[in-house]
Amino acid sequence: MSTRGRQAEAARNDLRLLEAAHEVFTTQGFDAPVSAIAKRAGVGMGSLYRRYRTKEELLQRLCLIAMERVVAAVEEGLADPDPWQGLVHYVRACVGFGSGALAPVAGTIEVTEEMWRTSRKATELAGSLIGRAGEAGVLRSDATVLDVSLLIEQFSRPAPGPPGDRHEHEHAKERLLAIALDGLRAPGRTPLPGEAPGLDWYEGRWKRSS
């Protein structure tokens, strides 16, 4: 096999590993053995460990990919001239790929500089998107960028209902998301209780406790 062929095969194996890891971790929990990931991806343990020396490295990579996809979703939302539709696109896109599904690992893994940098870029861009919606009068005035981020995080969790019927699960989630999006529309019938979450608290969840 040529060098280019081997590189292409390695890239395919990496993609299979990442897809399998996301599926295993979000359905079986983050204590699931990496052997389950290798089995689901159809690769050997040697291939997994050559790419990711530890489970933490694998989780860091998955988190970074999710953050990069959030950045892309916000940029797509900002490209939409309609402030409300741009916001809806951002929320639906992030829920669609489960951007917050890895939130339960917060505080259990080391956050790399690249992860912090990408996360802050996503938060800054989301602030622009949400600020634009607020200025246009289509977003309730008491909703913040972190409120929206935490809403996305909630909808990134497994859909309600008994296991087995994925279509019904997703249908139920779509209905609830439509209700939640209407709750974000201006003017908002019920004032939001308490203080809005702060960035220090939001990021502080990801700081590993000593």
pLDDT tens readout for residues 161-209: 555 566 777 888 889 999 999 999 999 888 899 888 898 988 888 987 6
Per-residue model confidence as pLDDT tens digits over 67-102: 999 999 999 999 999 999 999 999 999 999 999 899
What residues pair up with 139 in beta bridges, in sequence order? 185
Return d(Cα 65, Cα 62) in angstroms, integer.
5
pTM of the model: 0.86
Distances (CA, A) of 172 to 130, 150, 179, 185: 26, 19, 11, 21
Q: Which CATH code is given to the segment(s) 60-204?
A: 1.10.357.10
Range 1-53 has CATH code 1.10.10: yes
According to the model, what pLDDT value does residue 189 have?
84
Model confidence pLDDT, tens digit, residues 1-21: 566 666 666 678 788 899 999
The pLDDT assigned to 66 comes to 93
Domain layout of the chain by residue ranges: 1-53, 60-204
Q: Which of 63, 194, 37 is nearest to 116 (CA)?
A: 63
Dihedrals phi, psi of 124, to nearest 5 degrees: -65, -45
Q: What is the pLDDT of residue 94?
A: 95
Q: Are 88 and 186 in contact (CB under 8 A)?
A: no
Provide the pLDDT for residue 11: 74
Tens-place pLDDT, residues 22-53? 989 988 888 999 999 999 998 889 888 888 99
155/93 Cα distance (integer angstroms): 11
Burial of 208 (0-12, 13-18, 19+ CB in 10 A): exposed
The confidence score (pLDDT) of residue 6 equals 62
State which amino acid sits at residue 118.
T
